[in-house]
Amino acid sequence: MDCCTCPNGKGLSNAFIVISGILLAIGIIFNEPLKRTPYSVAEYLVLLSAYFLSGWKVLKSAFKNLFRGRVLDENFLMTVSTLGALAIRQLPEAAAVMTFYAIGEYFKERAVNRSRRSIAALLDLRPDYANLKLDGEIKKVRPEEVEVGQLIVVKPGEKVPLDGEVVEGISFVDTSPLTGEPVPRKIKKGDQILAGMINGQGFLIIKVTKPFEQSSIARILELVQKAAENKAPTEQIITTFSRYYTPVVVFGALIVAFLPPLILPEASLKEWVYRALVLLVISCPCALVVSVPLSYACGLGGASRRGILVKGASFLEALAHLHTVAFDKTGTLTRGVFRVTKVVPYNGFREEEVLAAAASAEVYSTHPIAHSIRASYGKEIPLKEIKDFQEIPGLGISAVVEGKRVLVGNDRLLHKEGIPHEICNIEEGTGVHVVLDGIYAGYIIISDEIRPDAKEAILKLKELGIQKTILLTGDQEYEARLVAQKLGLDAYFAELLPEGKVKKVEEIQAALPNRHNQKVAFVGDGLNDAPVIMRSDVGVAMGGLGSDAALQAADVVLMEDTPYKLVTAVTIARGTIRIVKQNIILALSIKALFFVLGTMGVATIWEAVFADVGVALVAILNATRAFNLPTAREPKKTKMLTGTW
């Protein structure tokens, strides 16, 4: 509702409310003396002043909407009921309706501002300038003016204005503006750094890798600002309900006003018009149309404050109805930080040859396993000797190294190519096979580490009532089984290609007993899991801060690499939905009660004010709780010292 929002002059509007309240109090306390003035001038002067000072926005909106074809809305109800009260000389009641309504709207605005505080904090993080290093000089420019490849300087205490790679300097940076976690991160030469982070004590020189409009902070700001446009089903129902509800109420009030005087001999037209006006005030749907969207806004703001970006109220509601959560393995339940623990050569090849061939073939790959193989090899790889590089999704790598065709991948790749090979019986880690010119050269064992909070996250999800937790991975069966057993997952499916994960999620969705109210979430790293993230009811990208795929494909982005953040997200979502239901039940039940009392003539406009503005105020205050919902305490993290390195 736009009647109470005013981009300019908010202080003046608040002053009007205070003055209106004072005049209303004077008009009520001294009503009889004011009436005894000639023609009751003093009463009209005091109470009409209170009425117009507090209600001019409502009146203005009602008349504007009249010419726009939006006649029967809450502004119209308020205007007709109060002008009717003035017509039958119920001045204190008319002024009270507008004054208390304005007070309720004031509290609503306060609540909205509070719910958007985390978003406003993000907006404040938008860097004002960048220190561009050009021709040996440092020039202060707008971040939008800096081009990819140029060097910028970030001094201690400054915001990082653009995404880039550190080329000189060591420091600790505050990542909390992006992740919600106040844990400093050490940054050194060669590390990636993201816009929005705040530099600590060190002096950094950064090579820009992305223009400002593609930087992390710019993408996050855009997504957060668009989140409010995505309404939840409950929110849409309330909007539709109010569209039909208001005309019914207006015509019902007309019947109450004029039908009884026509058919009942002793019925007074003034009395029944008054009752109709009472019904109009009682029936105003403000409590619903304000508190429901506000509850979702507060829930989204509370999640954002905790480092969880939910792209709209519809996904918040879907999170609250999760039945099954499917997880990717590498980078999600495990750290994705691999290390080579063993090299097993075959067919006369040496360990060094197997490792060198694998490292050379993986030179262009961004997969964590490729990083670990190259790190273990530790020697410079001549790129001119690498040709015909090809990444085979879900299988591995093919490349020509020094004239020899090298295959590096899993068991399925070798079966596809018809290469006889050894079956890796590995208790811990992943087996990566290496083939040179069609001859099986051996395999490399690579170990990953389960995230320390993964098991606790799975246990807590089950405590919250999540029926199934499932592992979907492209890794080999034995490794999937090992991780599933360690974490207590209900099921696992291994050796899945990206399309296999999508198919499995579709099968899980089809098997749900109540598809309408039960949802399936998939949690992945947002890079190679984009198809299944998009196909699930709730796609969750974990640690997707610097990932374009994560921010674009996912419905929920956990800004830190911690699975337990999903527990927090579900808790916030359920708490928000609980508050929405409370407000709907509260508003409808009290309005129904007073509607009956108003029709019987028991309730006056004073009771109507309570039934409308009072209930709206209670609902607004209840909605604000969604911003600070209690959540399960997250596992403690080890904080780094910022004094020395």
Question: 584 and 443, same structural domain?
Answer: no
- pLDDT of 543-559, one tens digit each? 655 455 556 778 888 87
- pLDDT of 397-421, one tens digit each? 999 998 899 999 888 888 888 888 7
What's the average model confidence in pLDDT over 363-376? 85
Please say if the pLDDT value at position 209 is more than 80.
yes
Question: 322 and 275, same structural domain?
Answer: no
> 158 to each of 78, 101, 178, 192, 546, how far by Cα in Å?
51, 45, 15, 17, 20
CATH classification of the domain holding 555: 3.40.50.1000
What's the average model confidence in pLDDT over 525-536? 76
Please say if the pLDDT value at position 640 is more than 50.
no
Please say if the pLDDT value at position 491 is more than 80.
yes
CA distance 390 to 399: 6
Of 413, 447, 481, the position where a domain reaches its end is: 447
Question: 103 and 234, same structural domain?
Answer: yes
Would residue 634 count as lying in a domain? no
Please say if the pLDDT value at position 458 is more than 50.
yes
Question: 485 and 613, same structural domain?
Answer: no
The domain total for the chain is 4
Question: 351 and 435, same structural domain?
Answer: yes
CA distance 380 to 377: 9
Domain hosting residue 58, numbered range? 10-117+228-298+575-628
Would residue 567 count as lying in a domain? no
Least Cα distance to 322 among 462, 157, 156 occurs for 462
Would residue 216 count as lying in a domain? no
Would residue 642 count as lying in a domain? no
pLDDT reported for residue 546: 47
How does the average pLDDT of the chain come out, rounded? 81
CATH classification of the domain holding 442: 3.40.1110.10
- pLDDT of 45-102, one tens digit each? 999 999 999 888 888 888 888 777 666 667 777 788 788 778 878 788 788 878 877 8
Of 147, 179, 209, the position where a domain reaches its end is: 209
Question: 550 and 498, same structural domain?
Answer: yes
What's the average model confidence in pLDDT over 567-588? 92
Strands (E), 188-338: 192-193, 198-199, 204-208, 308-310, 322-327
Question: 554 and 467, same structural domain?
Answer: yes
DSSP conformational letter for 589:
H
β-bridge pairing 404-409 and 396-401: antiparallel
pLDDT reported for residue 383: 84
pLDDT reported for residue 225: 56
Lowest mean pLDDT among 168-182, 254-268, 428-442, 465-479: 168-182
DSSP conformational letter for 287:
H
- pLDDT of 307-324, one tens digit each? 888 888 888 999 999 999
Question: 81 and 41, same structural domain?
Answer: yes
The set of residues, in sequence order, having a beta carbon less than 8 Å from that of 110 and lying 6+ positions away, is none
Q: Which residues are designated catalytic?
A: 328
What is the enclosing helix (H) or strand (E) of 479? helix 477-487
Would residue 460 count as lying in a domain? yes
What's the average model confidence in pLDDT over 8-17? 68
What value, to the nearest 5°, has the Cα angle with vertex 213 and ends 208 and 218?
100
Q: How far is CA 62 from the centre of its chain?
A: 34
What's the average model confidence in pLDDT over 174-183? 62
CA distance 486 to 454: 10
pLDDT reported for residue 121: 55
Q: 10 Å Cβ neighbour count for 198?
A: 19
Question: 364 and 314, same structural domain?
Answer: no
> 102 to each of 185, 274, 645, how far by Cα in Å?
47, 22, 56
Would residue 508 count as lying in a domain? yes
Question: 40 and 74, same structural domain?
Answer: yes
What value, to the nearest 5°, has the Cα angle with vertex 521 and ends 519 and 523?
175
Would residue 223 count as lying in a domain? no
pLDDT reported for residue 47: 92
pLDDT reported for residue 334: 86
Please say if the pLDDT value at position 4 is more than 50.
no
> 126 to each of 158, 212, 215, 334, 402, how far by Cα in Å?
12, 10, 11, 33, 48
pLDDT reported for residue 137: 87
What's the average model confidence in pLDDT over 368-378? 86
Question: 419 and 348, same structural domain?
Answer: yes
CA distance 543 to 138: 34
Would residue 188 count as lying in a domain? yes
Higher pLDDT, 13 or 387: 387
Asked if residue 162 lies in contact with residue 130, where contact means CB atoms within 8 angstroms, the answer is: yes
Please say if the pLDDT value at position 644 is more than 50.
no
